[in-house]
Amino acid sequence: MFIVTAKEMYDIDHCTMEKIGFGKLLMENAGRAVAEKVRQKVNAADKILIVVGPGNNGGDGYVIARTLQNEQYRVSVLQVVPDQKLSEQVQFFKQLYLACNGTCLLLDDSAEWKQVISEADVVIDSLLGIGVDGLVREPLASVIAFINEKGGKIVSVDIPSGLPADEGAEAFTSIQADETIVIAAPKTSVFLPHTANYYGNWEVVSIGHPQTLISENAACFVADDVFFRTTMPKRDVNSHKGDHGKGLVIGGCDNMPGSFAMTVRAALRTGAGLMTAVSTEKVIDRIACLSPEAMYQIGASEKGHLIADDLPLDDKDGVAFGIGVGRETKTAALLESVLQETTCPLIIDGDGLYLLQNQLARLKQRNEPTILTPHMGEMARLLEMDISDLTRSPFRYAREFAEEHHVYVVLKGKYTIITSPDGNQAVSTTGNPGLAKGGSGDVLTGIILAMMMQSQSIFQSLCNACFVHGMSADLQVQSGHSYHDLLATDVIEGIASVYRTFS
């Protein structure tokens, strides 16, 4: 599945209609596809009100109205702008609807509009689509507010009306949809923390755009099960442990042994060939028994925290630094040497990101891939910006940071955004609120470490690691756990189910 900005969608629409020649057929296809989904969500006796706005989203609404009416549903239309505001294309579909004995109430002509909305069992929101520009103007703003207040079940067409399709909007007035039938491809705002919830439950309908056209124009995609199945390397029956990576995890401190232990175990469960774990003597004494499959090495330490040391970096296939390592200045010196001496892909996570704050310039000096795995708070600190600004435009800021510092960024959230140094982006949509607990990120780092040693590109490995991490949590919740009781260690044990189910 591809993710599009408004401009990308317009380019795809325009090419499909004008160059390929779909013309008005595209809107007919859109309306029919949405109507088919609406039929699955309403009852035969429901009063269905299609609320039509000034643009092509409204045109979709007239096709939906005609299609549902033809299926004997109880349909009426409320048009909130005068006819002269409608484009020629929308006028065409309005005339078709009226010619099929459709009824239409004009907002200007009627004081009944509030009653009509109040009496509707289902409101189909065709007020505004991806053409909304700025805060919604009257009379649409009042209609949106009243629908939110009084409308029955609200099904939005393509996008909740008033919601911006793209990231970056500071303020907006939007329909709060129960369901959204997204046309052709989800828009960026489906995946933003402050706009996602307005969509309610969302699903995508195809309306005939050539998939190649969508893939050529969309800059981002969803790293889903199809992606995992087609890119996750198969294990060669003649392979040996060295073929699946020699991984190294550097982390932990005397008062934080657990997160480090989970990263080690998650890497083993994901399929790392050999794992070495470096931490303080006290940490290793306490956790070595948890993953006897790993090898352990005591790192130089002071007051329970790792300090600069000569570590076995040069013969590894992947290194993860920072999990539970603490924020001592002397540990920052260890990070400095790891950045300079690691000659393989390096993940920096957790406290390692805190220690990295004053060493960002070293990132570009590395010749090997560097992967940062911040959550929004850690990313905001790295960018030295307010987290609310970051969450409004996470795709942009992740891409700018990745390109500037030549790193991969796994920006963790409900929807995790994966960005490569050249700006390629993907979103992982697996996972659930059961992951909103300590340790989830440590487990993801272990999965990434093992995944990036499985003979696939770094970008693919990050996409697949996020898929496995979230899908493990989903399968665990489906098979008996709940959002409340799911532990990070359950996610480690659920990795087996993901492999068994999807590969």
Ligand X SMILES: NC(=O)C1=CN([C@@H]2O[C@H](COP(=O)(O)OP(=O)(O)OC[C@H]3O[C@@H](n4cnc5c(N)ncnc54)[C@H](OP(=O)(O)O)[C@@H]3O)[C@@H](O)[C@H]2O)[C@H](O)CC1
Point out which residues bind ligand X (CB under 6 A).
Answer: 13, 17, 26-27, 30, 53-58, 60, 85, 128-137, 140, 157-159, 183
**With contact defined as beta carbons under 8 Å apart, do 469 and 444 qualify?**
yes
> Which DSSP category does 29 fall into?
H
Ligand-binding site membership of 317 (annotated) = no
User: Which of ligand X, K ion, none interacts with 181 (beta carbon under 5 to 8 A by kind)?
Assistant: none
**With contact defined as beta carbons under 8 Å apart, do 365 and 391 qualify?**
no
**With contact defined as beta carbons under 8 Å apart, do 194 and 188 qualify?**
no
User: Which of ligand X, K ion, none interacts with 351 (beta carbon under 5 to 8 A by kind)?
Assistant: none
Is 161 a binding residue for K ion by CB under 5 A? The answer is yes
> Which DSSP category does 137 fall into?
P
Is 165 a binding residue for K ion by CB under 5 A? The answer is no
What is the distance between the alpha carbons of residues 50 and 64, in angstroms, rounded to a whole number? 8
Element (DSSP H or E) covering residue 41 = none
User: Which of ligand X, K ion, none interacts with 193 (beta carbon under 5 to 8 A by kind)?
Assistant: none
**With contact defined as beta carbons under 8 Å apart, do 144 and 174 qualify?**
yes
Ligand-binding site membership of 276 (annotated) = no
Ligand-binding site membership of 318 (annotated) = no
**With contact defined as beta carbons under 8 Å apart, do 244 and 271 qualify?**
yes
Between 162 and 421, CB nearer to ligand X: 162
User: Which of ligand X, K ion, none interacts with 156 (beta carbon under 5 to 8 A by kind)?
Assistant: K ion
CA contacts within 13 A on the Cβ side of 123: 32
Ligand-binding site membership of 41 (annotated) = no
**With contact defined as beta carbons under 8 Å apart, do 345 and 452 qualify?**
yes
What is the distance between the alpha carbons of residues 295 and 116, in angstroms, rounded to a whole number? 71
Ligand-binding site membership of 438 (annotated) = no
DSSP string across 304-321: TEE-S---S-TT-SEEEE
Ligand-binding site membership of 406 (annotated) = no
The partner residues of 425 in beta bridges, in order of sequence, read 220, 419
Residue 85: closest CA among 102, 65, 106: 106
Ligand-binding site membership of 60 (annotated) = yes
Tokens 């509707």 sit at which residue?
120
What is the distance between the alpha carbons of residues 408 and 200, in angstroms, rounded to a whole number? 31
Element (DSSP H or E) covering residue 124 = strand 122-126
Between 120 and 136, CB nearer to ligand X: 136
Is 157 a binding residue for K ion by CB under 5 A? The answer is yes
Max Cα distance, the chain (Å)? 83
Q: Which of 5, 156, 370, 430 binds K ion (CB under 5 A)?
A: 156
Between 164 and 318, CB nearer to ligand X: 164
Ligand-binding site membership of 135 (annotated) = yes
Is 179 a binding residue for K ion by CB under 5 A? The answer is no
Between 26 and 223, CB nearer to ligand X: 26
Task: State the amino acid at position 451 in one-letter form.
Answer: M
Task: Tell whether the torsion through CA atoms of 366, 367, 373 and 378 is positive or negative.
Answer: positive
Ligand-binding site membership of 194 (annotated) = no
**With contact defined as beta carbons under 8 Å apart, do 297 and 260 qualify?**
no
Task: State the amino acid at position 228 in one-letter form.
Answer: F
Between 169 and 475, CB nearer to ligand X: 169
Ligand-binding site membership of 131 (annotated) = yes
Pairing type for strands 425-428 and 220-222 reads parallel
User: Which of K ion, ligand X, none interacts with 82 (beta carbon under 5 to 8 A by kind)?
Assistant: none
Is 50 a binding residue for K ion by CB under 5 A? The answer is no
User: Which of ligand X, K ion, none interacts with 245 (beta carbon under 5 to 8 A by kind)?
Assistant: none
Between 134 and 312, CB nearer to ligand X: 134
What is the distance between the alpha carbons of residues 326 and 456, in angstroms, rounded to a whole number? 31
Question: Interaction with K ion in 54-93: which residues (CB under 5 A)?
Answer: 57
Tokens 């009781």 sit at which residue?
485
Q: Which of 8, 13, 60, 125 binds K ion (CB under 5 A)?
A: 125
User: Which of ligand X, K ion, none interacts with 324 (beta carbon under 5 to 8 A by kind)?
Assistant: none
Residue 352: closest CA among 320, 397, 377: 320
User: Which of ligand X, K ion, none interacts with 125 (beta carbon under 5 to 8 A by kind)?
Assistant: K ion
Ligand-binding site membership of 57 (annotated) = yes
Window of 109-117, 152-160, 165-173, 477-485 that interacts with K ion by CB under 5 A: 152-160
Q: Residue 149 CB, nearest distance to ligand X (Å)?
A: 19
Ligand-binding site membership of 441 (annotated) = yes
Ligand-binding site membership of 442 (annotated) = yes
What is the distance between the alpha carbons of residues 269 and 448, in angstroms, rounded to a whole number? 11
Tokens 């480690």 sit at which residue?
492
Structure-block tokens of residue 183: 């046309």
Is residue 315 packed enough to be buried (19+ CB in 10 Å), middle (13-18) or exposed (0-12)?
exposed
Residue 260: closest CA among 372, 353, 349, 356: 349
User: Which of K ion, ligand X, none interacts with 390 (beta carbon under 5 to 8 A by kind)?
Assistant: none
Window of 50-58, 274-282, 323-331, 443-451 that interacts with K ion by CB under 5 A: 50-58
Q: Residue 30 CB, nearest distance to ligand X (Å)?
A: 4
Window of 42-50, 151-159, 299-307, 367-375 that interacts with K ion by CB under 5 A: 151-159
User: Which of K ion, ligand X, none interacts with 347 (beta carbon under 5 to 8 A by kind)?
Assistant: none
Between 125 and 351, CB nearer to ligand X: 125
Binding-site positions for (6S)-NADPHX read 56-60, 129-135, 158, 324, 375, 442
* Residues of each annotated binding site for K(+): 57, 125, 161
Mark the binding-site residues, compressed into ranges.
56-60, 125, 129-135, 158, 161, 324, 375, 412-416, 441-442
Annotated binding residues for AMP, written as ranges, equal 412-416, 441
Chain residues that interact with K ion, rule: CB under 5 A: 57, 125, 156-157, 161
